[in-house]
Structure 1
């Protein structure tokens, strides 16, 4: 796949984002509607999209060995990202109290809400299946390490176990676990039920892209462009972390080109939206987090084709 073809795919993905920005400015997407639509996507449509990736006669399931190899590589990638995230904040000498925002921005991309539509658009339905398997380690890291970045060690082991329990109730993770069962059993033919799930899942991509554009419209661009540390954090999030993960994937045994590209592309997504929610929940300054999120969404339109080309 050439740079031009990937770039055209990203332009195709970007136009609905622009449309979302326009209709938000025109007043068609109010804050309450956005909250309800986001809830519908995260709890219903996105899990259906995840399930549909493993359903159908044309789906080529990975072997059991490849499945656990994918999950193992995903875990290693996040360990690498954790090391990079802490190193970056140490070098940047970020103001006290904002370390959590920059670490989260470097470490966690929006691999589900944004990543799945992009992966499907660029690499197709088969890659979406691999991305769904990789979502399992991501959710565990997000609800444990991600929360600890903002909460510290308050609550100790009991608190972290509660976070892990909350992770287990996440609809996206549950859907990914069901996909894992499908892969292990080979039960891909769900008949009419599978077709219905696929229909619901198809609403995820257009609705998520419109919602992303509407979210961007809420930011004040000049306020989002004045923090030089945010540019550095975004550069690591969108380029350095994926390149480091690509280097690890190259030496990981049994990885095909499609496996590598899918996992690395998931690591190249814009900053995860949970970061802003965690800032508000734990009383942290949300401004750096929002700056990183805004910049990463805009810059990813260019960096995702570049990362895809690096993967070969």
Structure 2
């Protein structure tokens, strides 16, 4: 993995976040505006990144094996991260419900909203595709184990799994199926998804900047005292364990590099929505998302640099 490439991509994304802060400080951004950005990123730009990855990748048996491996690895990775974070939360003395919430914020990273565009930028279309598969594994864990932890004693319902049916997952299924059937996409569709995929990273980073500016305007620079826990576990402990374990796994180089980058992602964006719905601590989630995103601009290049000594 080229550390300079990673550092450049992260620096550019940091500048985009700063532009989002600047825009939000000059213009009143409504809730509807933010919802529009989320819809465009998740339902248009990210699916385009995935389809662009499929269209520009030779879907061979080797790639299909990589897809299967990274999906299973993602589920195991996130379940292990939840288990470890829950143990550390209890050791830290957090009470039951609060420990579960800190576990969610610490264990699950933003592999979709930030991870897919970032991997597409660093590793090309195939990297974006593999990141999307990794994110699909995360979604499965979020809407099963994640919701179970957040609901504090409520019964799990199969209807919760309908959230797994989304456009990024549909893009993965349609894209790989069409490639497997050797269906050649028309030139218009190729150019369309290539252009739309370029929206993912800029809009996602602008949205992060807008969230950050509104959070700071509302709360100042005050943070909740326990924020050290999700930041330390998410940005340092989990990537460190990932780097320690990966040398023992027989993974393709690209798959390994994608997992390394995604292991250092900040707290997942959907946490703000889930905390708003199932808890009374939405600001806790937004604060963790914002500060972990800012700090990840430093920690991700450090993780990539540390990986050069192992691989």
Q: Which 5+ residue runs of structure 2 have no aligned equivalent?
A: none
Please list, as runs of the form range in 1=range in 2, the aligned pairs for 1:193-232 lying within 5 A after superposition.
193-220=189-216, 225-232=222-229
Q: Distance in 2 between matches of 1:212 and 1:308?
A: 22
2:25 alignment partner in structure 1:
25
TM-score (norm: length of structure 1) = 0.88
Q: Is the 8 A contact 1:88 1:233 kept in 2?
A: no
User: Displacement of 1:234 after TM fit?
Assistant: 0.9
Q: Is the 8 A contact 1:270 1:293 kept in 2?
A: yes
Note closer, same or farther for the CA distance 1:76–1:167 as it changes in structure 2 (3 Å cut): same
Larger deviation, residues 200-209 vs 25-34:
25-34
Q: Is the 8 A contact 2:85 2:103 kept in 1?
A: yes
Q: Is the 8 A contact 1:98 1:285 kept in 2?
A: no
Q: CA deviation digits over 1:37-68, x for unaligned, max 9? A: 21222122221222111113x65654332322
Note closer, same or farther for the CA distance 1:87–1:53 as it changes in structure 2 (3 Å cut): same
1:69 alignment partner in structure 2:
69
Larger deviation, residues 14-23 vs 197-206:
197-206
Note closer, same or farther for the CA distance 1:63–1:277 as it changes in structure 2 (3 Å cut): closer
User: Displacement of 1:247 after TM fit?
Assistant: 3.1
Q: Is the 8 A contact 1:110 1:272 kept in 2?
A: yes
Larger deviation, residues 97-106 vs 19-28:
97-106
Note closer, same or farther for the CA distance 1:130–1:136 as it changes in structure 2 (3 Å cut): same
Note closer, same or farther for the CA distance 1:196–1:2 as it changes in structure 2 (3 Å cut): closer
1:273 alignment partner in structure 2:
269
Q: Is the 8 A contact 1:24 1:30 kept in 2?
A: no
1:282 alignment partner in structure 2:
278
Report the secondary structure of 1:110's partner residue. Answer: coil
1:309 alignment partner in structure 2:
305
User: Displacement of 1:220 after TM fit?
Assistant: 2.2
RMSD: 2.3
Q: Distance in 2 between matches of 1:7 and 1:186?
A: 37
Please list, as runs of the form range in 1=range in 2, the aligned pairs for 1:183-202 lying within 5 A after superposition.
184-185=180-181, 187=183, 189-202=185-198
Q: Distance in 1 between matches of 2:28 and 2:184?
A: 39
Please list, as runs of the form range in 1=range in 2, the aligned pairs for 1:1-312 lying within 5 A after superposition.
1-27=1-27, 29-56=29-56, 59=58, 62-95=62-95, 97-156=97-156, 159=157, 161-168=158-165, 170-182=166-178, 184-185=180-181, 187=183, 189-220=185-216, 225-253=222-250, 255-312=251-308
Q: Which 5+ residue runs of structure 1 have no aligned equivalent?
A: none
